[in-house]
Structure 1
């Protein structure tokens, strides 16, 4: 199975945004710069994450993107489905019913065994992705990555994060 490069970009972007504090945002251009990506390419995936309510898009000069929920509540499956869509990776075209040895439909009353096996694998794959939390990935990175990489990431977040003004609710 091959996932698009957009999945990698989306996961990395969400992980970087997890480092923002206090409702701060980061512009799409900065996220694209962080990974050497085209801003227009990354924007497509950031918008998909915002549509799936994984990210929040904040308009205005100090706007940008931030996580819409805590990293503990975002799974890798959430991100993959936002970017790739909900369809299974394998789509059975029932090609067993084609070709010169084609039989009547009554010969194919049992489901295709290949399709059933692929759907079982898809279910296991999705369950594994659902168990992986963005917070766990970020924690593992902070614990295991080279200290220079962690320092560079933290400095990038500090340099490009845009603090947001608090809005006091009057009651």
Structure 2
């Protein structure tokens, strides 16, 4: 998974904590974690295409959550950035091995393929079961001042 997933998730959490519903520029979102704005912007645009963020052009433009934090899953963000393809793709190398069966569908019968598909399904279920609001809740539990500190930073930031 590329670093854009982490950046996008943190951006969604921070946008969810902002109360005034004003769009936030890429520069401000990037400055919060000292990220490269151009690369972060690519990730944010992917979230717009997936319907997770909205984007407004112009001098007062920027990004906002398109849905409430409880309506955006971690899987939504991951698939917006990484795509929907499985992390593991069975190439059926058993077809090239000794005693290969040309009639076999090794994607279904190879134990490695089966284990990897099961793990992928469990991983996707876990990500689909966690929302941005859930992440916010856990952060707030461990660090109650995080939402207020985040709001204050964005109010005072000038990038």
Distance 1:24 1:102 in 2: 64
Which residue of structure 2 aligns with residue 10 of structure 1? 8
Name the counterpart of 2:141. Answer: 143
Give the equivalent residue in structure 1 for 2:119. 121
Shift of 1:139: 2.0
Deviation per residue, 1:58-114 (Å, 9 max, x gap):
111111000000001000000000011000100011111124x263513x2562222
Residue number among 138, 144, 151 corresponding to 1:154 in the alignment: 151
Partners of 2:94 and 2:100 within 8 A in 1: no
Structure 1 residue 151: Cα displacement: 4.4
Q: 2:28–2:154: 8 Å Cα contact kept in structure 1?
A: no
One of 78, 92, 95 as aligned partner of 1:94 = 92
1:30-109 matches, within 5 Å, as 30-99=28-97, 101=98, 103-106=100-103, 108-109=104-105
Partners of 1:54 and 1:68 within 8 A in 2: yes
Unaligned segments of structure 1, at least 5 residues = 162-171
User: Deviations 1:109-143 (Å, cap 9, x if unpaired)?
Assistant: 56222212211111111000011010111122122
**Map of 1:168 onto structure 2:** none
TM-score (norm 1): 0.83
Q: How many residues align?
A: 156
Q: Does 110-119 or 32-41 show the bigger shift?
A: 110-119
State the 1:35 CA deviation.
Answer: 1.0
Distance 2:67 2:105 in 1: 46
Structure 1 distance, partners of 2:140, 2:8, is 19
**Residue 28 of structure 1: aligned partner:** 26
Classify 1:116/1:67 alpha carbon distance in 2 versus 1 (closer, same or farther; 3 Å): same
Offset, 1:160: 4.9
CA RMSD of aligned residues (A): 1.9
